[in-house]
Amino acid sequence: MGMSLVKGNYQLSTCILLNSQLRTTVFPTKTMPIMCSSFSKPLFSFSSFKAFSSQTSASTSNPDEMPAHVGFLGLGIMGSPMAQNLIKAGCNITVWNRTKSKCDPLISLGAKYKSSPEEVAASCDVTFAMLADPESALDVACGEHGAARGMSPGKGYIDVSTVDGATSKLIGTKIKDTGALFLEAPVSGSKKPAEDGQLIFLTAGDRSLFEMVAPLLDIMGKSRFFLGDVGNGAAMKLVVNMIMGSMMASFSEGMLLSEKVGLDPRVLVEVVSQGAISSPMFSMKGPSMVQSMYPTAFPLKHQQKDLRLALELAESVSQPTPIAAAANELYKVAKSRGLSDHDFSAVIEALKIKLQTQSKE
C-alpha cells in the first residue's frame, strides 16, 4: 500500500522534537499501514506539525548535517519565500535571479550574490532551482553559464520547478555527467505555504541527495515524498495540478451558473465549504472570485503550462483525460485575454467572456 499523510491525522511510529517543532517519522509496515484519509481514525491529532514521509523507507532529517553552502536560483513568487526561510533558519545562502533586483531583499537579509548559475553552483554544496517552465529550467541548468558548469563530484542540484519528466531527465543527465547528484523535487502548495514553510515536496532521483538535503526540505516544507526514479516526481506534480486546474474550472462554472439563476455565489461558496467537496482552495479563492479579484498566488500561465504538460503525459500512455483537456482550453482562452499573470482563479473570466459572446450572437 502506498501512503499519504495529512497534517494532524495519522498513526505515528516515532516522534522526535527538533527546533521546538514536533516532527514525525512514519514507518510504512504491512502490519500497520499508514491510514490517512479523513475517514481513518487518528491515534493522535495535532493542530500544526510537520509530517515527513518516504515511499520506500523511514527518514528523519538531522539539522546538524545540513550542507554548509546552499545556492538558490530563481526568486519569483515561490523561490523568494523559500530562500528567505532558509536564510531565516540560519543557512548560508547564495542567490541568483535573471532579474537581479529580486535578489536585493534576500541580500539585505544576509544572502550572498553571484552573477550566474554557474558561479552559484561552483560556490555551493547544493543548489536549488525554482524556474518558471521547462525552457527556463533547462537553460538555467544547462545553458552557457548554467549550473551544470559549476557542478562537480560531491555537489548536488535540486530542481523544484514544475517541469515534464523528459526535461527533468535531461537536466538530471547533464548534472550527473559532472559527477554531481540530482534530485527533482517539485512542490505542492502555493505562495502562502511557501512563506509558512508548509510545502509538500514530491522528490525523485538520487536517494543520497534526498537524505542530504532533508533538513533543508524540512525548513521549507511540511512533508516530503521520495518517489523513486527521476520523472516520478514530475509526473506526480503534473497529475496533482491537472486535478487542481479542472477543479478550479468546474468551480468557476458553478459560481457563474449560481449567479445566472439568481443565487448569491457567496452563499454557494459557504455551502460548498461545508460539504464533501469542500476544499481550502475554494474557501480561499471563492470570496475574491465573487468580487472579480485575482491576487496572484499561482499565475494562470503556469497552471495552463501544467495542464498542457499533464495532457502530454496522458497522451504518452494513451490515458483519456477529456475533463482536463476541456479545462485547458479555458485557461488558453484566459491567457489570450491577457490574464496570464493573474491568479489562475481568473479562469472564471474566460467563462464570463464566453457567455457575453454567446448572448450577442
Q: Return the CA Rg of the chain.
A: 21
Q: Three-state DSSP class for 161?
A: coil
Of 53, 127, 162, 328, the one binding ligand O=CCCC(=O)O by CB under 6 A: 162
- Running DSSP on this structure, what letter comes out for residue 34? P
139 binding partner (options ligand NDP, ligand O=CCCC(=O)O, none; Cβ < 5 to 8 Å by kind): ligand NDP
Place of cell 548554467: 146
Per CB under 6 A, 189 contacts ligand O=CCCC(=O)O? yes
Neighbours of 225 (CB within 10 A): 24
What is the number of the residue whose Cβ is closest to ligand NDP? Answer: 76
**φ/ψ (deg, to 5) at 96:** -150, 140
Which residues sit opposite 128 in a β-bridge? 72, 158
Span of 68-76, 145-153, 325-333, 345-353 interacting with ligand NDP by CB under 6 A: 68-76
Q: Which stretch binds ligand O=CCCC(=O)O (CB under 6 A): 43-51, 115-123, 187-195, 256-264?
A: 187-195
For residue 221, which phi and psi values (nearest 5 degrees)? -135, 170
Choosing from 53, 61, 97, 258, the residue that interacts with ligand NDP (CB under 6 A) is 97
Which of 188, 232, 252, 321 lies at the binding interface for ligand O=CCCC(=O)O (CB under 6 A)?
A: 188
Inter-residue long-range contacts of 85-91, CB under 8 Å, 24+ positions, other chains counted: 85/194, 85/195, 85/197, 85/219, 85/220, 86/216, 86/219, 86/220, 87/111, 89/219, 91/66, 91/216, 91/219
- Contact flag: residue 78 with ligand NDP (CB under 6 A): yes
- 161 makes contact with ligand O=CCCC(=O)O (CB under 6 A): no
Tell me, by CB under 6 A, how many residues bind ligand NDP: 26
Residue number, 97 or 162, with CB nearest to ligand O=CCCC(=O)O: 162
What residues make contact with ligand O=CCCC(=O)O under the rule CB under 6 A?
A: 162, 188-190, 241, 298
